[in-house]
């Protein structure tokens, strides 16, 4: 099946793979939106809306609220957290209740019968058309990835052209893994958070504490 025009629109919409400030040294990457079983449930005015930043009216959503708490822990001296100052993205644009979910509605919407075909297409389009260009803008980037059990998805996207990359983390705790990359994409570190940043999982205060715990990674 060929990719649908609707999926192409979704990529560049508010619900797609959002690119807010590619020049930021600090990137925050989720796996995908969750909580729905069919992309047709997304309100058309949202997925037709170009993505040019996060409206403050959405700061109350669990994902953005917890991300803001995490950033406030990383940067305790920063009084006003504006999420548009950072690069924030999801790897995959279709909202799904689980990483392995793939319904007929999703297949009809995207044009791909198989989930693997959708992921492969997203990888190539995402990396080549958005992420790769953005990665050229700033060196020594630190990429924070959110998503329990999704480490390999992030590694695939961000290990770059480094064929010697080892998937063994330099540091690991119960909450995160740290990979020192210094790769061809200009990424210094890849920090894998072992928690999801949506409605389930850690509380806002726990995310803030985790951000404070990771302050040392900003300077090492």
Q: Which residue has the tokens 């570190």?
A: 189
DSSP category for residue 13: B
| Residue ranges of domains in the chain, CATH in brackets | 5-219 (3.40.470.10)
Burial tier of 74 (Cβ tally within 10 Å: 0-12, 13-18, 19+):
buried
pLDDT at position 87 is: 84
Predicted confidence at residue 35, as pLDDT, reads: 67
Give the pLDDT score at 208. Answer: 93
- CA 161 – CA 37 distance, rounded (Å): 35
Q: Quick one: pLDDT at residue 74?
A: 94
Please report, in tens digits, the pLDDT of each residue of the chain (220 residues total).
588 888 887 776 666 655 567 788 898 888 887 766 666 666 555 555 545 555 555 666 777 888 889 999 999 998 888 888 888 877 888 878 777 889 888 898 899 999 999 988 887 776 555 666 666 677 778 989 987 677 777 877 777 654 455 668 888 988 899 988 766 677 888 899 887 666 567 888 999 999 999 988 887 7
Taken in order 183, 135, 119, 174, the sign of the CA dihedral is: positive
Structure tokens at 66: 């917890």
pTM across the whole model: 0.83
Contact between 179 and 172 under an 8 Å Cβ cutoff? The reply is no
pLDDT at residue 71, rounded to an integer: 94
């Amino acid at each position: 099946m060929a990719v649908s025009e609707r999926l192409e629109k979704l990529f560049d919409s508010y619900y797609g793979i959002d690119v807010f400030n590619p020049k930021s040294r600090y990137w925050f990457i989720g796996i995908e939106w969750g909580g729905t079983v069919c992309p047709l449930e997304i309100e058309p005015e949202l997925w037709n809306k170009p993505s040019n930043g996060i409206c403050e009216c959405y700061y109350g959503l669990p994902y953005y609220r917890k991300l803001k708490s995490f950033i406030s822990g990383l940067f305790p001296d920063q009084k006003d957290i504006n999420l548009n100052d950072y690069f924030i993205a999801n790897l995959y644009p279709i909202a799904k209740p689980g990483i392995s979910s793939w319904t007929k509605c999703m297949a009809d919407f995207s044009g791909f019968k198989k989930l693997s075909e959708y992921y492969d297409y997203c990888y190539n389009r995402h990396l080549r058309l958005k992420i790769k260009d953005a990665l050229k803008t700033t060196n020594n980037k630190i990429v924070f990835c959110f998503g329990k059990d999704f480490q390999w998805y992030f590694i695939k996207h961000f290990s770059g052209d480094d064929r010697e990359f080892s998937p063994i983390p330099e540091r690991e705790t119960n909450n995160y893994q740290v990979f020192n990359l210094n790769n061809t994409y200009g990424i210094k570190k890849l920090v894998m958070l072992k928690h999801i940043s949506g409605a389930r999982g850690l509380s806002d205060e726990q995310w803030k504490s985790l951000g404070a715990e990771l302050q040392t990674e900003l300077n090492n």
